[in-house]
Structure 1
């Protein structure tokens, strides 16, 4: 997998390896900025395409290929 950059995550697409509640495809809808300016973002909000449910995950967790695949597979 290519290295992720927090600045380029907004509107990126992801596929969950193990779907949860029929949700398999997700899109990053918000990158949570840190309270201290200059620090890197740590969290992103991802929205399920099917149910529109939103969850907050650490953006570095998206690099775990056992849980997430980049793009809609």
Structure 2
């Protein structure tokens, strides 16, 4: 899964491998544009479906299968 395209992550669904606070299912709600025009996107905002809590993470963290699984499992 190391071939993720950050431009295609918007609204993608993810499952936390080790859920905390009943937050298991997440959806990517925003890609954070870099300050430098033309620079690659590095950060995303991911929101927990259960609680609505959001957090900003580097999108490459989603390739770590010890933390994230693609889709809702």
Q: Which runs of 5+ in 2 are unaligned?
A: none
For 2:4, the equivalent position in structure 1 comes to 4
Hey, what's the Cα distance between the residues in 1 that align with 2:56 and 2:2? 22
Runs of 4+ in 1 over 4 A off after TM superposition: none
Aligned to 2:51: 51
Q: TM-score, normalised by structure 1?
A: 0.97
CA RMSD of aligned residues (A): 0.8
Any gaps of 5 or more consecutive residues in structure 1? none
In 1: Cα distance, 2:34 partner to 2:72 partner: 28
Count of residues in Structure 1 that have an aligned counterpart in Structure 2 = 73
Residues 1-73 of structure 1 aligned to structure 2 (within 5 Å) = 1=1, 3-73=3-73
TM-score (norm 2): 0.97
